[in-house]
Each structure stands twice: as structure tokens, then as C-alpha cells.
């Protein structure tokens, strides 16, 4: 005491922990909040684009080198020997079968020609036609074009025409065409021709008459070199239409002069029939035409006889045989 009583004065000194009573708790003053360091935002990673692999550089090789390597790899000695053996076997087989085929064809000619001549003498035209047809196939196999082969081909054509002769004349055919013409329009000429000629597709016509060269139209000059016309003096009775018959047969070249006409006896098949203005134009198939040559088959036609220009004259048949290259 300093004389001031029992009072104690306390200074401003903060008691230390040791001076505090044991039951006194000490609360530390709160610490100021710590500022969190700002994180830098990560920049977005750039996507890596895969780079294309480098293009390999192929060294250029000359084409001749590549071709040479291919051929050398293809034709090895072993393969070459194998190919040679195969080729030899194939050639041997070919010549063997070809020789066998030729022997068969020669026997066929011998048998069929003899049988055909017998049928011809017996006037069995159907059997003769079949025998001669087999002989013609054999001649074609051998590639023969000698007098015998030409005679047999001629006999086959004549017997074929005899056995497939049209039931009517060419005038009858035009009558039939006129009756059918009213069923078709003018622009349906192709249909009309197919309809009329199709009914006579297998028929043969045997005609005697004067033939002379005809003048080709501009559109025909590039299609044919042979150009002949059968002089047809008649007209259709009811309609008064003319008839023009085109027979562009190569067999006429040896007989018919360029500026004249000649009576011939020939056979052929129809190809086309159409109305051109007031004229019926009838065309025969060029590859079907042939000259008649054999007296035996000619007699079977029973054509009317005349004293002057009849094709039944043996001299005319002989001329036609000569033009056809046939030896009678």
C-alpha cells in the first residue's frame, strides 16, 4: 500500500499467461481471413491435328521394264514347255478331227449323190432334194467348188423349188395383195409387206419371161450393183395398176447385156411387195435367184411350149447352164 488505502491500481500492463488464474481461458483474437491466391485460368489446350503421313515417293519405272518383268515372270521355262505341249496336243486333235470330218464328208458325197441321181431318174423330187441337200452340206465342209459340186448345188436348187412351188402365179399373188391393201393405212407399208410376203415365205416362183437392166433410183445405188427387171406387160384388171417386178439376181450378169433384154427361165423367192403410187412393186430375194438348167427337172414344170423363144428350148437351157458354170 502506498498510503492510499487498500486500493490497488492496475496499470495497463497485460498480464502474462503465468499470472492468469488457471481456470481462466484464453481466447486468441481471430486472425484475419487469408486471401486465397488467385489461380490463373488455364488456357484451353490446342487440339493437335494429326498430320498426314508423308507420301512415299515411288521411283518411276519405265513401262518396258515392267512389261519385261511381267513377261519374264509369266513365261518361265516350265510354263513354256507346258504351253508347247498343250499346243501340240490341240493341233494334233484338230487335224485328227478335221481329217475324220473330211473322210465322213467324202463318203457322204459318194452315197448321197448316187442316191439323189436315182431319185431324180424316178422323178421322186422330194427324196432327190433331201439327198442333194446332204451332199451340198458335205461339199461346203470340204470347200469344194468344182464342176461336180456346182452341178449338185444346181440340182438341189431346182428340186427345192419343185417341192415348194407356190400354189398360184405371180398375178394371183398381186390379186391377194390388192385385197389386203384396204386393211392397212398408206403409212403402214412395212406391216403390209410383212403380212403379204410372210404368208409366202417358203414359196418358190418359177418364171419365164424377158428380163432387162433397170435404172436404179438414187437411194438404191449404194445397196445393189445388180439391177434387173422382169418385163410385165399386164395390169391389174380391176384397179388398172401396173406391176413392176425387180429381180436383182447376179446370175443374170452373164446372160443379159447392159442395153438389151433376154428371155430367161429362173426361180426365186419373194422379198417385198408394196404399192408405189399406181404401181405394184414386187421384189425377189437377190440371194435366192438361180437359172434353170436341167432338162429333166424342166420337163417336170410342164410349162407351155412355143416354137421360138420358149425357155424349153434345149439351146437356152444349155446357155443358162454355161452361165451358171454347170456341165450337163
The per-residue pLDDT for 235 is 86
The per-residue pLDDT for 77 is 77
The residue out of 163, 178, 208 marking a domain boundary is: 163
Contact 273, 311 (CB under 8 A): no
Asked if 146 and 202 sit in the same domain, the reply is no
The answer to whether residue 177 is domain-embedded is yes
The answer to whether residue 70 is domain-embedded is no
Reply yes or no on whether the pLDDT at 109 is more than 80. Answer: yes
Asked if 207 and 315 sit in the same domain, the reply is yes
Mean pLDDT of 61-67: 66
Contact 159, 125 (CB under 8 A): yes
Instruction: Name which residue leads in pLDDT, 128 or 11.
Output: 128
The answer to whether residue 127 is domain-embedded is yes
Mean pLDDT, all residues of the chain: 81
Task: Give the tens place of pLDDT for each residue, 16-48.
Answer: 555 555 555 556 566 666 666 666 566 666 666
The residue out of 104, 130, 163 marking a domain boundary is: 163
CATH number of the domain residue 99 falls in: 1.20.58
The answer to whether residue 25 is domain-embedded is no
∠ CA 122-123-128, nearest 5°, is 95
Kindly state the percentage of the chain with pLDDT values over 70: 72
In angstroms and rounded to an integer, the radius of gyration of the C-alpha atoms of the chain is 55
- Element of type H or E holding 96: helix 77-121
∠ CA 158-160-161, nearest 5°, is 65
Strand-by-strand arrangement of the 279-284 sheet: 270-276, 279-284, 242-246, 228-230, 205-213, 262-268, 290-291
Mean pLDDT of 45-53: 65
Task: Give the tens place of pLDDT for each residue, 74-104.
Answer: 667 777 788 888 888 888 888 877 888 899 9
Mean pLDDT of 266-282: 91
The residue out of 163, 195, 214 marking a domain boundary is: 163
Distance CA 15, CA 25 (A): 13
Asked if 197 and 130 sit in the same domain, the reply is no
Asked if 208 and 315 sit in the same domain, the reply is yes
Mean pLDDT of 228-238: 87
Query: How many domains does the chain divide into?
Result: 2
The per-residue pLDDT for 247 is 94
Instruction: Name which residue leads in pLDDT, 14 or 308.
Output: 14
Instruction: Name which residue leads in pLDDT, 4 or 273.
Output: 273
Instruction: Name which residue leads in pLDDT, 216 or 16.
Output: 216
The answer to whether residue 194 is domain-embedded is yes
Kindly state the percentage of the chain with pLDDT values over 90: 41
Pick the closest to residue 319 from 272, 244, 254, 258 (CA basis): 254
Range of the domain at 207: 170-324
The per-residue pLDDT for 108 is 96
Question: SS3 of 234, please?
Answer: coil
Q: What is the DSSP letter of 58?
A: P
Asked if 100 and 185 sit in the same domain, the reply is no
Contact 272, 311 (CB under 8 A): no
Mean pLDDT of 223-240: 82
The answer to whether residue 305 is domain-embedded is yes
The per-residue pLDDT for 137 is 96
The per-residue pLDDT for 14 is 57
Reply yes or no on whether the pLDDT at 223 is more than 90. Answer: no
Burial of 23 by CB count in 10 Å (0-12 exposed, 13-18 middle, 19+ buried)? exposed
Amino acid at each position: 500500500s502506498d498510503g492510499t488505502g487498500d486500493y490497488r491500481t492496475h496499470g495497463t500492463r497485460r498480464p502474462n499467461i503465468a499470472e492468469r488464474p488457471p481456470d481462466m481461458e484464453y481466447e486468441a483474437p481471430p486472425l484475419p481471413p487469408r486471401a486465397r491466391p488467385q489461380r490463373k485460368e488455364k488456357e484451353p489446350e490446342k487440339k493437335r491435328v494429326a498430320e498426314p503421313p508423308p507420301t512415299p515417293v515411288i521411283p518411276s519405272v519405265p513401262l518396258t521394264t515392267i512389261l519385261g518383268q511381267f513377261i519374264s515372270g509369266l513365261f518361265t521355262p516350265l510354263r513354256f514347255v507346258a504351253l508347247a505341249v498343250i499346243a501340240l496336243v490341240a493341233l494334233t486333235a484338230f487335224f485328227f478331227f478335221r481329217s475324220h470330218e473330211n473322210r465322213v464328208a467324202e463318203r457322204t458325197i459318194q452315197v448321197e449323190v448316187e442316191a439323189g441321181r436315182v431319185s431324180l431318174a424316178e422323178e421322186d423330187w422330194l427324196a432327190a432334194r433331201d439327198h442333194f441337200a446332204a451332199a451340198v452340206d458335205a461339199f461346203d465342209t470340204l470347200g469344194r467348188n468344182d464342176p461336180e459340186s456346182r452341178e449338185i448345188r444346181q440340182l438341189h436348187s431346182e428340186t427345192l423349188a419343185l417341192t415348194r412351188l407356190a400354189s398360184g402365179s405371180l398375178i394371183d399373188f398381186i390379186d391377194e395383195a390388192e385385197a389386203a391393201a384396204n386393211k392397212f393405212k398408206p403409212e403402214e407399208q412395212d406391216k403390209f409387206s410383212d403380212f403379204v410376203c410372210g404368208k409366202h415365205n417358203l414359196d418358190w416362183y418359177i418364171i419365164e419371161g424377158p428380163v432387162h437392166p433397170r435404172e436404179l433410183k438414187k437411194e438404191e445405188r449404194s445397196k445393189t450393183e445388180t439391177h434387173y427387171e422382169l418385163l410385165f406387160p399386164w395390169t391389174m384388171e380391176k384397179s388398172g395398176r401396173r406391176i413392176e417386178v425387180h429381180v436383182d439376181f447376179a446370175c443374170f450378169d452373164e446372160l443379159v447385156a447392159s442395153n438389151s433384154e433376154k428371155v430367161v427361165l429362173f426361180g426365186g423367192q419373194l422379198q417385198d411387195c408394196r404399192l408405189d403410187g399406181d404401181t405394184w412393186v414386187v421384189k425377189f430375194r437377190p440371194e435366192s435367184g438361180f437359172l434353170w438348167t436341167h432338162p429333166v427337172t424342166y420337163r417336170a414344170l410342164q410349162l407351155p411350149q412355143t416354137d421360138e423363144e420358149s425357155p424349153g428350148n434345149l439351146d437356152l437351157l444349155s446357155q443358162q447352164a454355161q452361165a451358171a458354170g454347170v456341165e450337163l
